[in-house]
Chain A
């Protein structure tokens, strides 16, 4: 191969290509999304695919899965040219996918999902359920993970969904696994387990294509990286030969200074009275007597393990789940929240954690999504003034640099990161005084993440009270003036930012030190 790859990690040397894509181009409605992209993955390699939001990563992978047709270019798998015109074709060629939006049937068991469409049949053509369970068990044993094949998928957590997806792909003899942001909804120890599994899979010659916006993960598990920018391949290099700065610059297109470092802000902290005050808030098993305050202009980070009650607390604050006892006080007035509309009236906004299910109406246009909470501002008499709506949407798109060709297009067609920007823009458009965010940077690229964090800081500087839930300690520490750690539905610790020397310290506290 070319000289830039001559020093590829030794374990890859001499391996054949499992997948080779050459000169791939693709347009949607006349808009170029991929231009002449070359992409190659060797057997047993973990190949990271990186790039900004909308760079074309998911599109390239959907071509490899047979979801989209290609306009130009060719694909070889194990040296054989292939035509992938359907998901079935790709599957037969050994391409497996761990979907970002899971493709499992929640009402079926793990084993039933794994054998879906390829069920083992008995003599009378009836499904042999026991055989299906046995097969599933064998795959899990190979993966060295412990999952009960008889459990109903809907009852399991996301980590198990993912394992089931992987088992499903492996049981269909996949030799190349595509993982599109697989850790987005995993807790730290679950992600660790996934990385170990990926290691074991590559030992057996399975290749993994890994899409992630998290740099540490890429360095941890990938052998090589390909960076796309604006639909073109920028570089392919072994990770041993590329610095994090180079990657960031490749993705963002410019250097970012001071990224992810805490900026001492002129916080209003303990000046004046708190904007938001929680007094012994209790609701359900995971919100057990939580008390803390957020002052005007303050950013409070909410840390905790999965299941510690962070999301549940956010739901209560936004009036989605009812409060059982205790009180939520905004500027000295106790709130009686019947639903989100009451919270909105009190100046609270929630950026929910699941953009597809809670944040967006995927089939509606970007403009309609952005203006949904703002309909009251678009009124002219009893009617809606669409010109005002259009202007509002345009303003928000510009302010948050959403990459969208036409605001009247369905949100579904935006890249994942740009969808997230729409959710954020939608809520900041309401000019809330209290902003609650649940994993606001999930799926956004490094450049955008910095922009979002900067935006949060500047909103706080203007006096907004911010409560931010995040499982990414670097970003939590980058913006929080104070960190509240939840454990089992209770406040475990409250710390000023200055008391936290680094991420490791925070992690120890979260885990219960």
Chain B
């Protein structure tokens, strides 16, 4: 994978084996499987489901498309969260920002039309992100607390301004573009997902900004001493995460043809799980957007398989939690 950035996890200190110059075993041991655990895990889980649930239509193209579709919004949110976590911060407000954006977009569309709707959705991200970013970078309040507060505030505002009522969107063009329609044979939602993952990968791995995000997350003081404006980077990362979340909210609105304060509720936890599953370091300094994509797909895959297997919601939750803990434990970096 050329998309990973930062160092791979090293062998644990006590177990660095002596490796013959170019022997096959040496090569195998040198290949660091922990780094690829998410891909390995994805393939393993997929195969298990394919074998056990094949007769229930797991491998049908329709079902596979469904898995992707369900992963789409989470993975878009998770792309933003990847930047935040790589920078050694956290954003708990993404789910309710998505909800608020869906509501504002819907209300603006019905009053002033599609353009106003899109702008309103983005404005939610910009405003919330700027508030989060300012509090985190200027006042040095831990992002955990800032975004925990924002999680409640954004959800509350969304519920308040709508009086808890769903806001239907009757603009077909909007619904078509934002996740409801297809681009050719491909569901629009997947195009959006591919776009964000591609952009996120390039920005994190290949731009100055991305490198500075990783440096700030790896050692803020050393980054500052190297001329990185770490305050600004922290601000930008919080802003980016909220704006990306607001786009996800607009996609919810388009696909479900309405804005509702519940859209996105709880997505912050799925997104964080996807990011960590994908191999981004919870302590900052190392991040991979492709890993995040597979983390989201993995979660969606598990959900889908467990439903097909006929488990009850309560049982699904237990199994899903166990699989996530197992995957993170296996991929644990030293």
Contact = CB atoms under 8 A, between A and B. Distances in A.
Interface of A: 27-30, 67-69, 71, 85, 318, 320, 339-341, 343-344, 350, 352, 357-365, 368, 372-373, 375-376, 379, 382-384, 386, 408-410, 413, 426
A361 B225 contact: no
Contact of A27 (B6, B16, B221): B16
Contacts of B202: 383
B225 A30 contact: no
11 contacts: A29-B16, A320-B225, A340-B227, A341-B229, A343-B227, A362-B218, A362-B219, A363-B7, A372-B228, A384-B211, A410-B10
Question: Chain A interface mostly helix, strand, loop or mixed?
Answer: mixed
A383 B211 contact: no
Given A27-B18, A340-B225, A362-B219, 18 more contacts: A29-B11, A29-B19, A30-B21, A360-B222, A361-B215, A361-B223, A363-B285, A364-B214, A364-B215, A365-B7, A368-B7, A372-B211, A372-B215, A376-B208, A382-B207, A383-B207, A384-B207, A384-B208
B19 A361 contact: no
B15 interface: yes
Nearest to A86: B14
A340 B211 contact: no
A359 B14 contact: no
B206 A384 contact: yes
B172 interface: no
Contacts of B207: 382-384
Interface of B: 6-7, 10-11, 13-16, 18-21, 26, 30, 202, 206-208, 211-212, 214-215, 218-219, 221-229, 285-286
A341 B218 contact: no
A344 B206 CA distance: 23
A168 B226 CA distance: 36
Contact of B211 (A320, A357, A358, A368): A368
Given A29-B30, A372-B211, A375-B212, A364 B19 contact: no
Nearest to B16: A28
B226 A340 contact: yes
Contacts of B229: 339, 341
Nearest to B15: A69
Contacts of A352: 225
A508 B233 CA distance: 47
Contacts of A409: 7
B35 to A, nearest CB: 13
Contact of B6 (A71, A320, A350, A364): A364
A364 B14 contact: no
B13 A67 contact: yes
Nearest to B202: A383
Contacts of A384: 206-208, 211
A4 B138 CA distance: 65
A409 B20 CA distance: 19
B285 A375 contact: no
B225 A368 contact: no
A358 B215 contact: no
Q: B208, B218, B225, B286 — which one has the most chain A CB atoms within 10 A of its CB?
A: B225
A372 B19 CA distance: 32
B243 to A, nearest CB: 18
Contact of A341 (B10, B15, B227): B227
A392 B131 CA distance: 39
B18 A361 contact: no
A363 B214 CA distance: 11
Q: Which residue among B16, B19, B30 has the maximum number of chain A CB atoms within 10 Å of its CB? A: B16
A320 B10 CA distance: 33
B53 to A, nearest CB: 40
Contacts of A360: 219, 222
A361 B224 contact: no
A71 B18 contact: yes
Contacts of A375: 208, 211-212
A421 B26 CA distance: 30
Contacts of B14: 67-69, 85
B120 to A, nearest CB: 29
A363 B223 CA distance: 13
Given A363-B6, A364-B215, A372-B228, A358 B222 contact: yes
Nearest to B283: A363
Contacts of A368: 6-7, 211, 214-215
A282 B83 CA distance: 39
B206 A359 contact: no
Contacts of B224: 320, 339-340
Nearest to A342: B227
B6 A373 contact: no
- 10 closest cross-chain pairs (CB), A and B: A361-B218, A30-B19, A361-B219, A410-B7, A341-B227, A344-B227, A375-B208, A27-B18, A372-B226, A383-B206
A413 B207 CA distance: 26
B237 to A, nearest CB: 17
B249 to A, nearest CB: 27
B227 to A, nearest CB: 4
Contacts of B225: 318, 320, 340, 350, 352, 358-359
Given A30-B20, A358-B221, A376-B208, A363 B226 contact: no
Contacts of A363: 6-7, 218, 285-286
Contacts of A357: 219, 221-222
With most chain B CB atoms within 10 A of its CB, the pick from A350, A352, A358 is A358
A71 B20 CA distance: 13
A71 B21 CA distance: 16
A243 B202 CA distance: 58
Contacts of A340: 224-227
B227 A364 contact: no
A71 to B, nearest CB: 5
Nearest to A339: B229
A409 B214 CA distance: 16
Most central of A358, A375, A383, A426 by chain B CB within 10 Å: A375
A67 B16 CA distance: 12
A373 B223 CA distance: 9
Q: Which of B13, B18, B224, B227 has the most CB of A within 10 A?
A: B227
A86 to B, nearest CB: 8
A168 B229 CA distance: 40
B226 A373 contact: yes
A466 B208 CA distance: 29
A358 B19 CA distance: 34
Contacts of A339: 224, 229
Contacts of A386: 206
Contacts of B215: 361, 364, 368, 372
Contacts of A359: 222, 225
Nearest to B22: A30
A383 B205 CA distance: 9
